[in-house]
Structure 1
Amino acid sequence: MSRRSVSVALVFPLLALLLLVSDSPYPALPGPKRDAPRAVVALGDSTMAGEGAGSYEPGTNGENGNWCHRSTKASVHHTRVEGVDRVFNLACSGANAEQVGLTDQVRNTEGSQARQLAAIAREYRVSVVVVAVGANDDPRFADVLGACLRAWIERRVDCAKAMADEWKARVERMTPKVERALRDVRRVLQDEGYTPRSYTLVLQSYAAPVAPGLPFDLQNLAGCPLRTGDLQWVRDEAVEQLSEGLRTAAKAAEARFLDLSKAGEKREACTGGDEMDQEWFTRLTIDFDGLRDEARARHALQESFHPNDRGYEQFGRCMSEFLATTAREASCVAGEDGNLTAVEAED
């Protein structure tokens, strides 16, 4: 029998098989439909949620115990990505790396952000995932600022001296937890049919909210009640070391990294003096109405020393620039016009 005859003999059975199974197609592959709208998703803690900017989404401003404080002015709402149709902010004030990843832990009445991401990834084509997390893990940055505030009130030795020795160790313990959270995000998207190249995963660090050199008449309860030595330590050491730990986590999880440690330079809380509109961070902020309500009183200082709406707008601007490049790493610094710009890291 000739080769042509053999080929024809094999083709007819294959055609018959295709006709037989045509009414029972293979199950659809996981993931969204090919024409699904594209989305950017934000995960993380207060810095990503938008704490300090006000305009909080209904249900996240203390209702039924939810204090996530997700703001409509958060940086993700200022992040522009070509072709994206929807923005989802799953970040929650107080969240740690475990809550961002796959966990049964519940915080602020909400569970795993990675699992929430999975639900979105089935309906939308997730193009970008931006993450800010780590400060609420071992570093407990908000507690450290609280300790420095108490040191000012009690006129004790600079709290920086008490923190400096253990801070590096705290950051080192945090780093693998953030890496694990990033890997959980990748695992969730892989389970939903995404490949690593089909989306961008970015970890951003934190900006220093305070700095030395502020007007003396604001170095008190009227603005920024922190001792000069503590202000300098927060800016020059604490935030820098925190960023280094996060950079290590991003590299290990093969995520891109945006360094915000210098993003607030000369725009920190209280540095503007009488011109508060020049600052990108909130000063000491007290919810006096909340103090009258037992359920809200413990959150009366929650907005203090977080970025404000101007700060989040600038962070979103810088993230937009970064996402428009192929750089693995960049830093947000002020350009000649005073706005933040993404400067690619040198190899």
Structure 2
Amino acid sequence: MTRKRHRLRCTFAATVAAAAAFAGMAAGASGAHAASAPSVRSTPLPPELEKIRAAEATRLYGDPAERAMADRRTGLISLGDSEISGEGVGSYEAGTNGPDNWCHRSPDSAIHRTGIPADETYNVACSGAYTGNIRIGGSKQYADELVQSDSLAIKARNTRIKMVLLVAGANDDLQFGPVMTDCVERYLLLQGACQSKYEPGWQGRVDALVPKVEGTVNDLKTVMRDAGYADGSYKLVVMGYPSPIGPDFHDDPNFPGKLVCGGLGYDSDTVWGRNTAVPAFEVGMRKVAKDTGVTYLDNSRLFNGHEVCMEDAWARGLYIDLSKPGLPDENSVRQSFHPNYRGHGAFASCLTQLYDSGATEGSCADPASTGTPTLQTLAWDDAYRPLKNEATGSCLDVTASTSANGTAVIGWDCHGGRNQGWWYDADRKSVHTQLTQDRCLDVPGANYTAGAKLIIWNCSGAANQEWVRQSGGLRPAAATGLCATLGAAKDPLTLRPCDGTASQRFA
């Protein structure tokens, strides 16, 4: 998501090169939402765009005419920045891998891999794009690129667009790429964590970018209306960003070290990124979708359990493309901390499920570490709630907000923090901590005995992570005569024989 104008300092480039050397470089169609054929005719394009449209129509159909909606091929299109262009996948379309164009569009990006039936799939997103490269009347990112809304205008007249996907905002006020670069640089140069540098102004950055993304969505709706589409004849999806990093890689027994897997950064910064920075961004993107009346896909938890340096990572860590000449610079490291091939496969699965569901809002995650994402037709913001003990008035709390395997669950004064938020997945009977979708309430060692202390552990779908909710209580599905019990306000959560008392009820 790095902006084209951003440049790394020489000290960083040299340090990255040294780190790399030390590490040995180891490491056509119908569907539930198929657009109906609007009767409104499209407005004429400017001559230069009409020329491009006519040439494209000739390639598609054999002549330049703009066809009636019902006679067109169907299409899907993605617009936005590096998160959806394919940056990080490693395979890129000709002409987008430098030296004069770094859009890094991949034929393996999500829009080309959904299960949504369509004759044509278009990826016009570009690494480094900000909203000014997408909006009506915006600026070209490179000389051989169109403003992305102009590309949409052309595709919408030559095909019957069923879904428009927008992923944007990270390169506006948030400046997510330069922030990530700075955090890595500070780690390599032993300058201290970056959290204290960025956290005070982070919410202000999110607040500033929201109206820009809202304006972009409204511009895309205008483009589609001008192309003859009614608002309800296609699906416009704003997709949020997943957190590429997290602190739980230490639980991997085969963790190779940060230099090898590319997880270069302070652990405290990975906690801040996952627990604060990305969630604030997600809330902003959800507001965009609500304010503009479009569909929202919350992917903020999608990579939980699949972050950089985890066993099945869906994002790249620090990556240096040594095929680029000279010392590492912006363009040789730009693929770092972006979704990889598996990450785009996860995006594609979530988009397909959302499209097929007909929902206007959905959240996607891998709830049992199966490697298969699952859509929930709800918002994570609304799903997680505190569990307040009726007897003590205290809340179930993940000790010290630490999501490592084996962390104790205790009672604590209610404060509304993420370590006191819980979600019960009724389909899998699992209880997830709000810290990460990848940690569940667990009976350690399946020890179903009175006094057993409960913990969080990597969500696996195992029987010792299945719970039955009954009369305000939580019972292990494999031992329903026992109940999760909070004996005193700040006691560990333990199993006790069910007795119906308030210490076993959580509101």
Q: State the SS of the aligned residue for 2:210.
A: helix
Shift of 1:111: 3.2
CA distance in 2, matches of 1:36, 1:69: 29
CA distances 1:165-199 after superposition (whole Å, capped 9, x unpaired): 10110010000000000000000110111100111
- Counterparts of 1:257-272 in structure 2 under 5 Å? 257-272=296-311
Q: 1:344 aligns with which of 365, 369, 377?
A: 377
CA distance in 2, matches of 1:230, 1:32: 53
Shift of 1:250: 1.2
Contact 1:46 1:92 in 2 (8 A): yes
Match of 2:468 in 1: none
Match of 2:292 in 1: 253
Match of 2:124 in 1: 90
Letter in 2 for 1:263: L
Shift of 1:289: 2.4
Contact 1:218 1:225 in 2 (8 A): no
Q: 2:257 aligns with which of 215, 218, 226?
A: 218
CA distance in 1, matches of 2:318, 2:221: 37
CA distances 1:194-215 after superposition (whole Å, capped 9, x unpaired): 1001111000000111111324
- Counterparts of 1:1-347 in structure 2 under 5 Å? 29-30=41-42, 32-33=67-68, 34-63=70-99, 65-82=100-117, 84-109=118-143, 110-215=145-250, 218-220=257-259, 223-272=262-311, 278-292=312-326, 297-336=329-368, 337-345=370-378
Shift of 1:32: 4.5
CA distance in 1, matches of 2:188, 2:258: 11
Contact 1:70 1:89 in 2 (8 A): yes
Shift of 1:222: 5.3
Contact 1:54 1:73 in 2 (8 A): no
Shift of 1:335: 4.0
Match of 2:456 in 1: none
Listed as ranges, the gaps of 5+ residues in structure 2 are 1-39, 43-65, 383-507
Structure 1 residues 291 and 44: alpha-carbon distance in aligned structure 2, compared to 1, 3 A threshold: same
Match of 1:4 in 2: none
CA distance in 2, matches of 1:283, 1:108: 27
Structure 1 residues 32 and 99: alpha-carbon distance in aligned structure 2, compared to 1, 3 A threshold: farther
Shift of 1:315: 0.9
CA distances 1:235-284 after superposition (whole Å, capped 9, x unpaired): 11111111111111111111100001000011111122xxxxx2111111
CA distance in 1, matches of 2:261, 2:375: 34
| Range with bigger deviation, 249-258 or 207-216 | 207-216
Q: State the SS of the aligned residue for 1:258.
A: strand
Identity %: 33
Contact 1:220 1:226 in 2 (8 A): no
Letter in 2 for 1:91: A
| Range with bigger deviation, 208-217 or 90-99 | 208-217
CA distance in 2, matches of 1:166, 1:223: 27
CA distance in 1, matches of 2:261, 2:244: 16
Q: State the SS of the aligned residue for 2:357.
A: coil
Letter in 1 for 2:284: G
Listed as ranges, the gaps of 5+ residues in structure 1 are 1-27, 273-277
Letter in 2 for 1:29: R
Match of 2:502 in 1: none
Q: State the SS of the aligned residue for 2:203.
A: helix
Higher normalized contact order (CA 8 Å, seq sep 6+, divided by chain length): 1
CA distance in 2, matches of 1:331, 1:200: 16
Letter in 1 for 2:87: E
CA distance in 2, matches of 1:73, 1:43: 15
Match of 2:60 in 1: none
TM-score (normalised: structure 1)? 0.86
| Range with bigger deviation, 201-210 or 151-160 | 151-160
CA distances 1:201-233 after superposition (whole Å, capped 9, x unpaired): 000000111111324752347521100110100
